[in-house]
Structure 1
């Protein structure tokens, strides 16, 4: 227990196994810690949960993120296309799906628009309509262009279930739902609140993830 009343991550050794638990000092706010404890908390959490620690300050992580955003060659998109081409050769039955979802597009934004639109369409909200809406949002907003790439990198680095960038784009509902809500948030902030709420309802139904479009910050 820390003298300043911060949350403390404690490793408890047992005879048969080691367990980890989080303790809160009396009166501590949930999820709070002071500046003097932040460094110690990060070290403890990285040791216990190495792939789930967010906001790592390690130079390699910072350099990788900078390269993703600033590179004129768009390394994430290059990797996604290469992975899709390789998978199409290994699984010919998926070649049409991979061509339509990835290989027929000229950028990550258009591929993501296609994937999300086909996941979220319903009889009254057609995929072709959603593609136009999603393309208009993503191709005209540099912040979301940056975020979808950093999210893809984060999924690949931190999620053991995501071995390739293309897996996040094509198969992981966590990534897909997050990008859908980024789009809904932009629509909300543009004053298109009814459309944003309609998307929220559909996203919740399809992905079982419910975030109000007015509260998600890019």
Structure 2
């Protein structure tokens, strides 16, 4: 709640100017909190994804738009499209993914990441070889592994190149021997845990509001000091 108390002898234009300053600061604070929440959600998605574009499935905006002001500006974070809505729901709630047509999900065992913190996909390991799993066919169809010897380099088959990346699981070293190091488990079905908690991130954003409002008021006050 924002209240403006005016004593006698104040010009109406000064009251309107003070009101405008407060509304400008309020909208700036809401914008800052919304951008904070958006950045945090994208950060969580980026840390658990091999895709550079996936964090951009969510966007944000503040209402009223443009230069219009209001006593109750609102920040909104939204999925960009129907497919993005499905992806965002899966990340916020968890999901079970099943693939067909002789495809599989490649589950990273070591969670190796690039310089930006993104999980490395199978394509980042040119020495991977496909080793089928005949013992636990219902659980996994095989693994992608690299030769334990630096001199022996495996060659990716056409079938193994079609395998795509997803989540982490199971120890398989005993099934492939000491000549290889398993990098990815290949499965038909995988349960994806919740990637982030939107409600918790929004609470973090709300906690930023007092400091954001103070900074916004100081900025607006400095800009209007000549009035």
Task: Tell whether the structures are fold-level matches, with TM greater than 0.5.
Answer: no
- Which has the greater radius of gyration? 2
Between Structure 1 and Structure 2, which shows a larger proportion of helix residues?
A: 1
Relative to total residues, which structure has the larger strand share, 1 or 2? 2
Structure of greater relative contact order (alpha carbons < 8 Å, 6+ residues apart): 2
